[in-house]
């Protein structure tokens, strides 16, 4: 009986939590930041480029205004070292406005991971309007690199404007370069990656055109690049988790019922240990 209880508790904990060897590179909850400029807080800085329209923290979110027609300030946060392995970026994302591709407006990426050699923006994430098919919706898109011929790949499930989603972007790096690409997950149900279905997967499209795979990543980039024809996605982000495992990036909090189940298992385990202790004393 005791071994069965131990096994049950171990299974529940393993299912509901991330791997013990997970590494969080950084985890920023913007509700802890002061309102005002993002740059200058907790390691976020402005890279070389425009300093106009500084990114703002307001109401616990980093806000990216939509439909910008010029290249405005980006914000970058370094990892502290090169991550030369698959990297996960988890964030809460609320999109208010996305580009309408049918009218010739190409949306710019709002988030990327910077490559270790030269700081080039890879693992690009953006959104396109889907209101012509389903009113009030958009689709997320991802692109493994920003190189010519390497396309954005869109998801097919409409997402609602004004609704916050838990989004996890997985940038896959392999030893040989085979099978590299981006997978994006939306509202994962647990911290167990194997139990999730990607919202989109660019792996089959990453070998199209000119492609120099990234050797590793050194920083996260919130972008406000825009022009007359390449316009920004309007979005609010209230946290970003960068990690080397899915569970640490997703950070899914177990449902109350699941927590209660773990509690029951632990109580059963403690009760059994107490009973065994009493027998030994007797």
Q: What is the pLDDT along the chain (282 residues), one digit of tens a residue?
A: 454 444 444 444 444 444 444 599 999 999 999 999 999 999 999 998 889 999 999 999 999 999 898 999 999 999 999 999 999 999 999 999 997 775 666 678 999 999 987 788 999 999 999 999 999 999 999 999 887 777 889 999 999 999 999 999 999 998 887 888 999 999 999 999 999 999 999 988 766 655 667 889 999 999 998 888 888 899 999 999 999 999 999 999 876 644 444 444 444 444 444 444 444 444
Per-residue pLDDT, 65: 95
- SS3 call for 263: helix
CATH architecture of the region 21-255: Sandwich (2.60)
Which whole-number Å values give the CA distances from 272 to 111, 212, 262, 265, in the listed order?
50, 58, 15, 11
pLDDT value, residue 178: 81
Instruction: Give the CA-trace dihedral at 12, 172, 183, 240, to 10 degrees.
Output: 70
Q: Which residue has the tokens 């406005």?
A: 97
> Residue 273 CB: number of other CB atoms within 10 A?
12
User: Can you give the pLDDT at residue 84?
Assistant: 93
What CA–CA distance (Å, rounded) separates 229 from 258?
Answer: 48
pLDDT for residue 211:
62
Q: Where are the beta strands (DSSP E) in 161-207?
A: 164-172, 181-186, 200-201
Question: Which pLDDT value is given to residue 270?
Answer: 42
């Amino acid at each position: 009986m005791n071994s069965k209880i131990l096994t049950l508790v171990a299974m529940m904990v393993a299912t509901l939590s991330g791997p013990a060897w997970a590494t969080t590179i950084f985890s920023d909850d913007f509700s802890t930041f002061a309102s005002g400029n993002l740059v200058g807080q907790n390691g976020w800085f402005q890279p070389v480029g425009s300093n106009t329209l500084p990114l703002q923290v307001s109401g616990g979110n980093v806000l990216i205004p939509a439909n910008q027609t010029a290249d405005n300030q980006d914000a970058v946060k370094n990892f502290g070292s090169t991550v030369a392995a698959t990297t996960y970026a988890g964030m809460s994302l609320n999109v208010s406005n996305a580009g309408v591709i049918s009218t010739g407006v190409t949306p710019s990426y709002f988030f990327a991971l910077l490559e270790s050699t030269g700081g080039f923006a890879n693992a690009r994430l953006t959104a396109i309007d889907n209101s012509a098919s389903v009113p009030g919706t958009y689709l997320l898109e991802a692109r493994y690199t920003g190189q010519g011929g390497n396309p954005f790949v869109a998801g097919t499930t409409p997402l609602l404007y004004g609704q916050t989603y838990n989004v996890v972007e997985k940038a896959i790096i392999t030893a040989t370069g085979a099978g590299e690409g981006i997978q994006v997950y939306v509202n994962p149900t647990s911290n167990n990656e194997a139990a999730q279905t990607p919202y989109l997967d660019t792996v089959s499209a990453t070998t199209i055109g000119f492609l120099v795979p990234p050797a590793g990543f050194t920083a996260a980039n919130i972008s406000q690049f825009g022009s007359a024809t390449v316009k920004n996605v309007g979005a609010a982000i209230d946290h970003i988790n960068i990690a080397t495992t899915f569970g640490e990036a997703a950070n899914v909090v177990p449902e109350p019922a699941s927590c209660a189940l773990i509690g029951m298992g632990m109580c059963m385990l403690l009760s059994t240990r107490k009973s065994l202790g009493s027998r030994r004393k007797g």
